[in-house]
């Protein structure tokens, strides 16, 4: 797998919802347990032999460069993509040069997860699609009976139940050709790219994550990560 796929970690965000923790430290370098959030991802990638990793940086990005210059036990070949302005969650991919492979794994830098990367990649190849979105299930329980109406009159009474939604996990695989749909030097999110690909009749599949996954976006998430890491075998 390592000679078939390029890897990009998106680490350019400001982490505003985690202020004041991110006032002088970029969110990817906030420590969970004994190491930064982003290092869990680089360790995971290295365990699958993925040791050529692009990292897009912007806010306090020099700190990320310095950290990995001094902490690189897996001898990863890092390529830092410096944004000159904020380009959203995927716009920086347009700045990529020397893409060696036909497929690109993209993941957000604020994820704490032990996903099986090889299983995801194999599923992507097996389904012969243009893109893959990893998803996590989210259950919403309706606490009371639902009263349905039509033209002002009750039409149905449904007992309380629940809905399960598939949420975007911030992990994607794209065929290299998909990068052609990203505009130059423009704020562009991964969801924007997905919408453009769908509008161009590209085939996109999902992969349900059954492993541990946590998006560290808010203070509650950061607190949960500190507790969870004590019991996780990463």
pLDDT value of position 14: 80
Q: What's residue 85's pLDDT?
A: 79
Over the chain, what HEC string results? CCCCEEEEEEECCCCHHHCCCCCCCCHHHCEECCEEHHHHHHHHHHHCCCCEEEEEECCCHHHHHHHHHHCCCCCCEEEEEECCCCCCCCHHHHHCCCCCCCEEEEEECCEEECCCHHHHHHHHHHHCCCEEEEEEEEEEECCCCEEEEECCEEEEEECCCEEEEEEEEEEEEEEHHHHHHCCCCCCCCHHHHHHHHHHCCCCEEEEECCCCEEECCCHHHHHHHHHHCCCCCC
Q: What are phi and psi of 41, to 5 degrees?
A: -70, -45
For residue 111, give both structure tokens. Answer: 């994820």
For residue range 189-227, what is the model confidence (pLDDT) as tens digits? 899 999 999 999 999 999 999 999 999 989 999 999 999
121-165 pLDDT, tens digit per residue, is: 999 999 999 999 999 998 888 888 888 999 888 999 888 778 888
The pTM of this model reads: 0.88
Homologous superfamily assigned to 5-135+168-228: Spore Coat Polysaccharide Biosynthesis Protein SpsA; Chain A (3.90.550.10)
Dist CA 129 CA 98 (whole Å): 23
- Residue 9: closest CA among 47, 48, 58, 72: 58
Give the mean pLDDT of the chain: 91
**Would you call the peptide bond into 144 cis, given omega within 30 degrees of 0 as the criterion?**
no
Question: Domain boundaries in the chain?
Answer: 5-135+168-228
Percent of the chain with pLDDT strictly greater than 70: 99
């Amino acid at each position: 797998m390592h000679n078939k796929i390029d890897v990009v970690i998106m680490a350019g965000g400001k982490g505003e919802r985690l202020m004041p923790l991110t006032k002088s430290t970029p969110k990817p370098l906030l420590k969970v347990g004994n190491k930064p959030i982003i290092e869990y991802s680089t360790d995971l990638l290295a365990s699958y032999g993925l040791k050529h990793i692009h990292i897009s940086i912007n806010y306090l990005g020099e700190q990320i460069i310095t950290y990995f210059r001094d902490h690189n036990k897996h001898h990863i070949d890092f390529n830092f993509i410096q944004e000159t302005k904020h380009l959203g969650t995927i716009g920086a991919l347009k700045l990529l040069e020397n893409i060696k492979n036909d497929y690109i794994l993209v993941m957000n830098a604020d994820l704490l997860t032990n996903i099986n990367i090889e299983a995801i990649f194999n599923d992507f190849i097996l389904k012969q699609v243009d893109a893959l979105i990893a998803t996590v299930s989210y259950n919403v329980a309706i606490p009371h009976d639902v009263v349905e109406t039509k033209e002002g009159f009750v039409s149905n009474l449904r007992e309380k139940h629940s809905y399960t939604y598939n949420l975007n996990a911030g992990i994607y695989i794209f065929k290299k050709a998909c990068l052609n749909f990203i505009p130059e030097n423009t704020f562009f999110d991964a969801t924007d790219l997905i919408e453009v690909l769908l509008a161009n009749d590209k085939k996109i599949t999902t992969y349900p994550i059954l492993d541990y996954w946590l998006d560290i976006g808010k203070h509650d998430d950061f607190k949960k990560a500190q507790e969870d890491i004590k019991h996780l075998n990463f």
